[in-house]
Amino acid sequence: MLWFKMFRPLLDAFWSESLWLPPNVTWSDVAPGAGSPRVLHTDYRHLWLAVPLAVALLALRGVLDKYIFAPLGKTLGIKHDRNKKVSPNHELEAAYRTNPDSKQVYALAKQLDLPERQVQRWWRRRRLQDKPTTLVKFCESCWRASFLCYNLVMGWSVLWDKDWLWDGDYCYIGYPHQGITNDVWWFYMVALGFYLSQTLSLSTDVRRKDFWQQVIHHAATLSLMSFSWVCNTHRIGTLVMLSHDGSETLLEATKATKYAGYHRASEYMFAVFTALWIATRIGMYSYFVVGSATFRAALFIHLAPMLRVLICLLWVLLALNLFWTWLILQVAYRAIKHGQMEGDIRSSSSEYTDSSTNTRTSRDRQIGI
């Protein structure tokens, strides 16, 4: 094929053994089944399996939302009624999607020969129409908490008897001839499928204040897991997941509890979550994963260029963890100061706060409502 011949030099350069592997090691040396017949090396072609797994997880999420999470939320009395739709107006709708400022709204009212207050009222109701219901956010948190809880239990049960869980140096000892067992293979693939499904659903889920940080986080996570799989450094990937899933599970459970109206319980859970987040995502992750890869790996292996890229991705995740820690500490400070937890945890909706349905949006304030 012509296109393949055109890009073949680029593909050969990208998959160069000097970029990915230590000196004197070839792809055939780490191919599946190389060496001992009991040793199964990672196969880069298996990464494509994350796509059908992601689709299956999205389908599972839809079923659980409809038959378990939504009925549970309604039983708990969570608000699920949508705001009434505004009267259709093509000119206002077109302008609404461009996110104009107050001067443009005033000019639009003049252009349509409508009172400015009427345009502002339509604008406010149109914004409320787009507001996701509490039940939608409850279902999202229930799904994430459920899967992450499963993944956390799966991770601990799979890695409990693995040497690298207790001594990070074993992530590099014997590299790159580190076989992967079936239980680790499934743990890795299912987790990869979940993070891919989370990335695919970002555009349809509730848009939060840290949307772009979430995009960067998912991109870095998928890249890190994919790179570590291709480089056969999957042991690092398993430790990354294990150090993140615990706090993330409690985070989503805390959100779901708050949406359900159990504010006192959510405050206690938030206190535990904050301590766990700092202990795992800042302490455990930075010392046992980032620090080990940055300072200890070179003592055991040759750091090929792609391994250095992998280390950079670990630092990107640490930077995001520090950013989110700052947001969490702000929420904790407000909770202590005001006696209750206000807003969303780690991030808030970019359009609305969770503390009150009557809170005006920033764009509404700009146009004088």
Residue by residue, pLDDT tens for the chain (369 residues) are 555 566 677 877 877 888 888 888 888 877 766 554 445 667 888 899 999 999 999 999 999 999 999 999 999 988 776 666 667 777 777 776 666 666 777 777 777 777 777 777 777 777 766 677 889 999 999 999 999 999 999 999 999 999 999 999 999 998 888 888 889 999 999 999 999 999 999 878 877 776 777 888 888 889 889 988 988 889 999 999 999 999 999 999 999 999 999 988 998 999 999 999 999 999 999 999 999 999 999 999 888 898 999 999 899 999 989 999 998 998 888 878 776 655 555 554 333 334 333 333 333 333 233
Which SS3 state, helix, strand or coil, does residue 305 take? helix
Q: Are 305 and 279 in contact (CB under 8 A)?
A: no
Instruction: Give the pLDDT confidence score for residue 189 in this predicted structure.
Output: 94
Terminal CA-CA length for the chain? 61
Phi, psi of 277 (to 5 degrees): -60, -50
pTM of the model as a whole: 0.79
Per-residue CA distances from 252 to 138, 346, 348 (Å): 9, 10, 13
Question: Which residue reads 């459970």 in tokens?
Answer: 253
- Count CA atoms closer than 13 A to 200's CA, side-chain side: 17
State the Cα–Cα distance between residues 100 and 93, nearest whole angstrom. Answer: 12
For residues 171-202, one letter each, b for 16 or more C-beta atoms within 10 angstroms of the residue's C-beta and e for the rest, the string is bbeebbebbbeeebbebbbbbbbbbbbbbbee
- Model pLDDT, residue 54: 95
Give DSSP secondary structure letters for 226-240. Answer: HHHHHTT-HHHHHHH
Neighbours of 322 (CB within 10 A): 12
The β-bridge partners of 349 are: 208
How far is the C-alpha of 347 from the C-alpha of 330, rounded, in Å? 11
Instruction: Return the domain boundaries, the chain.
Output: 28-76+140-338, 90-130
Residue identified by tokens 């659903």 is: 201
**Contact between 190 and 147 (Cβ < 8 Å):** no
Residue 349: phi and psi, rounded to 5, are -60, 140
- Give the pLDDT of residue 350: 37
Helices and strands (H, E) in the chain, number of each type: 15, 0
Q: What is the pLDDT of residue 125?
A: 74
Bridge partners (DSSP) listed for residue 208: 349
Do residues 237 and 192 touch, judged by C-beta distance below 8 A?
no
Give me the pLDDT at residue 361, please.
Answer: 39
Query: Which amino acid does the sequence have at 328?
Result: I
The tokens for 262 are 């159990």
44 DSSP 8-state letter: G
Q: What is the DSSP letter of 208?
A: B
Q: Which of 283, 253, 273 is nearest to 331 (CA)?
A: 273
Token output for 286: 């930075």
What does the alpha-carbon distance between residue 233 and residue 237 come to, in Å, rounded to a whole number? Answer: 7
